[in-house]
A and B are shown apart, each in its own frame.
Chain A
Amino acid sequence: MTYSTLLSDAIWTPILGGLLVLAVGDRRAGAARWLALLVSLVTFAVTIPLFTGFDTHTAAMQFSERVAWIPALNIFYHLGIDGISLWFILLTSFLTVLVIIGSWRNVQERVAQFMAAFLIMEGMMIGVFCALDAILFYVFWEGMLIPMFLIIGVWGGPRRVYATIKFFLYTFLGSVLMLVALLYLYFHSGDSFSLLAFQKTPLGMTAQILIFLALFLAFAVKIPMWPVHTWLPDAHVEAPTGGSVILAAVMLKMGAYGFLRLSLPIVPDASHRLAWLMVALSLIAIIYVALVAIVQEDMKKLIAYSSVAHMGFVTLGFFMFDGVAIEGGIIQMLSHGFISAAMFFCVGVLYDRMHTRNIKAYGGVVNVMPIFAALMMLFAMGNVGLPGTSGFVGEFMVVLGTYQVSPWAAILAATGLITGASYTLWLFKRVIFGGIAHPEVAGLKDLDGREMFVLGALAASTLLLGLWPAPFLDIVHSSVQHLVTQVSLSKIPV
């Protein structure tokens, strides 16, 4: 493996670029926007070689970088990616471009700060997906909260203070216990913070269970899993469109990624022991939360609850310890990244025009915005999990994999087929179809070029992943196989 700085470039380009955007200042809003777009495009360009140069035949970490950071504590600046991380880095850099284009006009205050927050957050999130040192991981993990906190707190809706505090405390409380677990692992792995070393450290069952629970709290809050999900609807409702998009599309994936990178390989025995809990919570998310989604009256809340239900498939797939189910979970994460982003953009498009998210205020939008309606129909069908869209692939694989282990869990999960169609298409019917119910709707203008570009790019991604998932799965395959082996081997010392 040749030495490369691609990962560092992907992390630091947006962070330094973000600082540069800050320096441009809010007064030169136009310049700040263009610079931010440039930075995000460069970052996206930097992440492309990760894909083209990726070796799908190995589960080993690629593009590794390792430099001593705090030698006294054996902390390294250690980066590297495998097939599990790659797609999420690309997803992050891709979506940040779209968010910057999508927020072009609808944010008018403190433009430079807004754009800079997204760029800095992008760097941090990519950092999480690359970090192989526990402390580095933790720093990025907590660091990315700050820009999101600001995005909701400064550019958010009327109840933003409540939402931000709830968001911050929830996620922060979860993470603190993760730090404790990481410290425990440090002392038991021969004074190393390397995640790869953690994976090889033998651990007794009690220790494993405690570590699992500590990590679980951090990750479950992020995903979010029932019953620690209630911060998400509040955060989404108050967040500006761009914030919602990144929150749903990338940040929720952090928790699921954490399970794959930390929980499963580091404490495999505890993962097996507590799989029943994870499966139960996942199924509750799929059934209970979907029912809650059906009765929502606020579009963003509905999509937020739908996110929780969809993420239930992800965790369900992971804790089947079956290759197909885990790969399905990963694809579901990626697909949800596209579709939830698109759905929040769609709500944003309507909100920019009508300044309300209340479903009752709409009706008959298709009469005045046919192009928008057609695109949103595609995303709605993705959300429903229709074959041909990305939403189908993940759910299908998870159900297939789950049936291998537990037919009943598969049947319960598959009820998501019905509930998902119910809340999504009922929403669509009330908002898009029908005669024009309110005079405000009659004056709506269809998508402009900028919006069309953003939604078009997401539509293309959704269809590509749905019609030809093979290349996506090829990247993931070796790493998941490796993970399945890891998690099947007991680490309890004999």
Chain B
Amino acid sequence: MWFFDWLRVFPPLAVYLAIPLAPLAGSLVAGFWGWKLREQAHWVPIIGVAVAFYMSLAVLWQVGHGITFYGNVYTWAVLGHLPVSVGFDIDSLTALMLVIVTFVSLCVHLYTVGYMRDDPGYARFFSYIALFTFSMVMLVMSNNFLQLFFGWEAVGLVSYLLIGFWFQRESANIAALKAFIVNRVGDLGFLIGIAAIYHYCGSLDYRTVFTVVPHLAGRMVEILPGHPWSVLTWIALLLFVGAMGKSAQVPLHVWLPESMEGPTPISALIHAATMVTAGIFMVVRMSPIYEQSAAALAVVLIIGAATALSMGLIGLVQNDIKRIIAYSTLSQLGYMTAALGASAFSAAIFHLMTHAFFKALLFLAAGSVIHAMANEQDIRKMGGLRKAMPITYFTFLIGSLALSGMPPFAGFFSKDLIIEAVGRSTLPEAGWAEFMLVAGVFVTALYTFRMFFLVFHGAPRMDAHLHAHLHESPWTITVPLVALGIPAVYAGWAYIGPVGLGHFLDTSLVIAPQWNTIGEIGARWQGIGEFLLQGLLAWPFWLTLSGIAVAAWFYGRRPGLPVALTRVLRPFIWVLENKYGFDAFNRIVLVRGVLQFGRWFWHVGDERLIDGVLVNGTAREIGKAALSWRRIQTGYIYHYAFAMIIGLILLMTYFVVWRG
């Protein structure tokens, strides 16, 4: 294409390098010179990310024409005899992820110009989100586990910094700390998984590892004595623990709702569209490993499906607009994870993509609402916003329809594909998983449109002053909304073939024949029309419709009904409001337990036993002994003479009796 042709004058590596380095440069400029640039600080990061987006498009186009790349940039270190490098693996999966990441990032950068304008940390914010783009891109482009982990931790760091962006808020600081530490639990598994890969494959390089992996089938390891496990199951599960942390799967999901303490643009970018999908991406990248282990796939499937349903249910009882969307994100990540379990890797990436668009859209639209509402986030205090904010209303509606899986919006195609793939999975757990996913469809539509109707329809519930000042947001906010709204509409039917059914992604995936769910669907593929028609006749569509209808009835027509229903369902709602007790368990058992152990080790172990008894105790005893023994030194000659004689007698007795 003429649009990318001029890039041929550069060596290919230069194009690839520009993708991470341009945002990094933006981040450094905004970080170091932000105090000087002030409200102009957005220029360099935006240009940097725009360059990265353009280059990503070029790379996608190249990959489409068969130009891929696999190679190293520099050797990070030589571990023993093993060189570990920083390098790139440019294939269809990477190229697609690059475009998604840089596109959403660019939208969020533009949106931030309007949204964060008056914030004193304006430049710092741009520095962080550009740094995030750099880290995420490095993660996606990596050709080895070390760099993957590098990017993995770096996006975690930026997430930590951005959740705690308003560092004067106690709740934000606690949320940031929580996010980091919970993610570290996942990282523990991830790191050990990498160590295991190094142990069994002797390399950290993707290609080398993937060529060794098939030879490991059947090899066992006894992690617990007497319980032999397949090595590949062990590795796959360890890596998945990492994915559970980053992609917020139960029970490591607890940090994500709290991450909403951060500014809204990063909720869209990091905690919905990109970073949280890193775990999904990682598992897809590792498909050669996962496809070797039915046990690992089953765990992935069940955890994903359980997350999809259970987190959606919590979304029903939330009143904070951002938290509802956050629980929705958890639920949707569950769908993606379940797809991974059903070996429908391309469907997972497809949903990742559509979700990135419509969820970023929903978050940014929610930000627009929050902006207009003077930072009010409680949907019970909103209502009737549609008149004042037509663009926000319209784009939010598109996002909601896409999220609920309404045809022909993007979410319908990706979600239906996942449900169908899970339905075709031959894993014994697939039945349960499918049930949870289908039930989740109703729940999704219900919480989404509950939010939608409460915010935009009905009578205004804010005070008159606020109501009088309601206004549509400036163009820097509405333009990104529209930009994200377009793919939220068409990305489903347009990309189901290349992405969802894997016609484009295939080269990056390894799928075992016995679990080729997507392959089966692809074999019966009769075009978009047929797929739509089948979708209209299937359960999920009717569940979506009824979810929307119930929401409209409850929150549009008969606002008294939900209140009455709440009373009847009290115990059930109590469980949901307490989020199944995960937070309480963590707080009471884990946090308090750790502190208790720490104090106990400190005061009893260190102070009383080691210092009190051993160290100072020894000193005390020596002192005491010296005190008593010094009395022997009386200074009287006859005492000493007497002692000498006694000693002499004892010695003589010894020599005579025992030696003689």
Contacts of B601 in A (CB 8 A): 288-289, 291-292
Do A387 and B153 form a contact, CB below 8 Å, given A230-B606, A425-B181, A470-B77? yes
Contacts of B168 in A (CB 8 A): 364, 367, 433-435
- Tell me whether B196 and A381 are in contact (CB under 8 A): no
Measured CB to CB, the nearest residue on chain B to A480 is: B80
What's the Cα separation between A432 and B177 when bound, in Å? 13
Of the residues B75, B149, B191, contact of A470 by C-beta under 8 Å? B75
- Tell me whether B185 and A418 are in contact (CB under 8 A): yes
Do A433 and B167 form a contact, CB below 8 Å, given A294-B598, A387-B153? yes
State the majority secondary structure of interface residues on A. Answer: helix
Minimum C-beta distance from B123 to chain A (A): 11
- Tell me whether B594 and A403 are in contact (CB under 8 A): no
B390 within 8 A of A: no
- Tell me whether B173 and A433 are in contact (CB under 8 A): yes
Of the residues A231, A366, A400, contact of B198 by C-beta under 8 Å? A400
- Tell me whether A399 and B602 are in contact (CB under 8 A): no
A396 within 8 A of B: yes
What's the Cα separation between A166 and B614 when bound, in Å? 12
Measured CB to CB, the nearest residue on chain B to A422 is: B181
Contacts of A403 in B (CB 8 A): 192, 195-196, 198-199
- Tell me whether B598 and A418 are in contact (CB under 8 A): no
- Tell me whether B149 and A387 are in contact (CB under 8 A): yes
Of the residues B154, B184, B223, B594, contact of A417 by C-beta under 8 Å? B184
Interface residues of A in 253-291 (CB under 8 A from B): 288-289, 291
Minimum C-beta distance from A475 to chain B (A): 12
Do A292 and B606 form a contact, CB below 8 Å, given A403-B195, A434-B170? yes
B180 within 8 A of A: yes
What's the Cα separation between A408 and B510 when bound, in Å? 31
- Tell me whether A291 and B597 are in contact (CB under 8 A): yes
Contacts of A166 in B (CB 8 A): 615
What's the Cα separation between A292 and B184 when bound, in Å? 19
B76 within 8 A of A: yes
What's the Cα separation between A21 and B606 when bound, in Å? 40
- Tell me whether A473 and B195 are in contact (CB under 8 A): no
Interface residues of A in 333-387 (CB under 8 A from B): 364, 366-367, 377, 381, 386-387
A393 within 8 A of B: yes
Minimum C-beta distance from A397 to chain B (A): 6
Minimum C-beta distance from B156 to chain A (A): 8
Of the residues B154, B164, B221, contact of A388 by C-beta under 8 Å? B154
Minimum C-beta distance from B456 to chain A (A): 35
Bitwise interface map of A from 417 to 434 toward B, beta carbon under 8 Å scored 1, else 0 = 110011001100100111
What's the Cα separation between A364 and B598 when bound, in Å? 26
- Tell me whether B223 and A407 are in contact (CB under 8 A): yes
What's the Cα separation between A377 and B128 when bound, in Å? 14
Interface residues of B in 587-643 (CB under 8 A from A): 594-595, 597-599, 601-602, 605-606, 610-611, 614-615, 619
- Tell me whether B198 and A381 are in contact (CB under 8 A): no
Measured CB to CB, the nearest residue on chain A to B195 is: A403
Contacts of B192 in A (CB 8 A): 399, 403, 407, 410-411, 414
B420 within 8 A of A: no
Contacts of A377 in B (CB 8 A): 161
What's the Cα separation between A163 and B660 when bound, in Å? 54
What's the Cα separation between A435 and B170 when bound, in Å? 8
Minimum C-beta distance from B48 to chain A (A): 19
Interface size on A, residues (CB 8 A): 59
Contacts of A392 in B (CB 8 A): 153
- Tell me whether B199 and A404 are in contact (CB under 8 A): yes
- Tell me whether B196 and A407 are in contact (CB under 8 A): yes
- Tell me whether B191 and A414 are in contact (CB under 8 A): yes
B43 within 8 A of A: no
- Of the listed residues B174, B223, B606, the one surrounded by the most CB atoms of chain A closer than 10 A to its CB is B606
What's the Cα separation between A175 and B260 when bound, in Å? 55
B150 within 8 A of A: yes
What's the Cα separation between A474 and B192 when bound, in Å? 25
A227 within 8 A of B: yes
Measured CB to CB, the nearest residue on chain B to A290 is: B598
Of the residues B157, B173, B176, B184, contact of A418 by C-beta under 8 Å? B184
Contacts of B598 in A (CB 8 A): 291-295
B79 within 8 A of A: yes
What's the Cα separation between A397 and B204 when bound, in Å? 12
Minimum C-beta distance from B319 to chain A (A): 27
What's the Cα separation between A289 and B610 when bound, in Å? 13
B188 within 8 A of A: yes
What's the Cα separation between A377 and B605 when bound, in Å? 31
What's the Cα separation between A349 and B354 when bound, in Å? 50
- Tell me whether A429 and B177 are in contact (CB under 8 A): yes
Do A434 and B153 form a contact, CB below 8 Å, given A294-B598, A470-B77? no
Bitwise interface map of A from 421 to 457 toward B, beta carbon under 8 Å scored 1, else 0 = 1100110010011110000000000000000000000
Measured CB to CB, the nearest residue on chain B to A228 is: B610
Interface residues of B in 417-475 (CB under 8 A from A): none
Contacts of B154 in A (CB 8 A): 386-388
What's the Cα separation between A294 and B591 when bound, in Å? 11
A78 within 8 A of B: no
Contacts of B619 in A (CB 8 A): 169
Measured CB to CB, the nearest residue on chain A to B616 is: A166
What's the Cα separation between A387 and B142 when bound, in Å? 14
Minimum C-beta distance from B255 to chain A (A): 12
Do A381 and B173 form a contact, CB below 8 Å, given A230-B615, A364-B168, A403-B199? no
Measured CB to CB, the nearest residue on chain B to A430 is: B173
B78 within 8 A of A: yes
Minimum C-beta distance from B555 to chain A (A): 38
Do A396 and B606 form a contact, CB below 8 Å, given A295-B599, A434-B167? no
B258 within 8 A of A: no
Measured CB to CB, the nearest residue on chain B to A472 is: B77
B205 within 8 A of A: no
Measured CB to CB, the nearest residue on chain B to A470 is: B77
What's the Cα separation between A446 and B176 when bound, in Å? 25
What's the Cα separation between A293 and B599 when bound, in Å? 9
Do A425 and B78 form a contact, CB below 8 Å, given A414-B192, A433-B164? no
Bitwise interface map of B from 152 to 196 toward A, beta carbon under 8 Å scored 1, else 0 = 011001001100100110100110110011001101100110111
Bitwise interface map of B from 54 to 85 toward A, beta carbon under 8 Å scored 1, else 0 = 00000000000000000000111111100000
Contacts of A414 in B (CB 8 A): 188, 191-192
Contacts of B146 in A (CB 8 A): 387, 396
- Tell me whether A477 and B606 are in contact (CB under 8 A): no
Contacts of B149 in A (CB 8 A): 387
What's the Cα separation between A429 and B222 when bound, in Å? 41
What's the Cα separation between A392 and B76 when bound, in Å? 13
A469 within 8 A of B: yes
Do A227 and B614 form a contact, CB below 8 Å, given A292-B601, A294-B594, A414-B191? yes
Minimum C-beta distance from B157 to chain A (A): 6
Of the residues B79, B160, B599, B614, contact of A397 by C-beta under 8 Å? B79
What's the Cα separation between A414 and B241 when bound, in Å? 14
Measured CB to CB, the nearest residue on chain A to B198 is: A400
Contacts of A227 in B (CB 8 A): 610, 614
- Tell me whether A400 and B195 are in contact (CB under 8 A): yes
- Tell me whether B595 and A295 are in contact (CB under 8 A): yes
Contacts of A291 in B (CB 8 A): 594, 597-598, 601
Nearest 8 Cβ contacts at the A-B interface: A403-B195, A295-B598, A291-B598, A387-B150, A433-B167, A469-B77, A292-B602, A435-B168
**What are 17 A-B contacts with C-beta separation under 8 Å?**
A166-B615, A169-B619, A227-B610, A322-B80, A323-B80, A367-B168, A399-B195, A400-B194, A403-B192, A407-B196, A422-B181, A429-B176, A433-B168, A434-B173, A470-B75, A470-B77, A470-B78
Given contacts A292-B602, A434-B167, 6 further A-B contacts (CB under 8 A): A291-B601, A295-B595, A366-B167, A386-B153, A421-B180, A433-B168
Q: A residues near B, CB below 8 A?
A: 166, 169-170, 227, 230-231, 288-289, 291-296, 322-324, 327, 364, 366-367, 377, 381, 386-388, 392-393, 396-397, 399-400, 402-404, 407-408, 410-411, 414-415, 417-418, 421-422, 425-426, 429, 432-435, 467-470, 473-474, 477
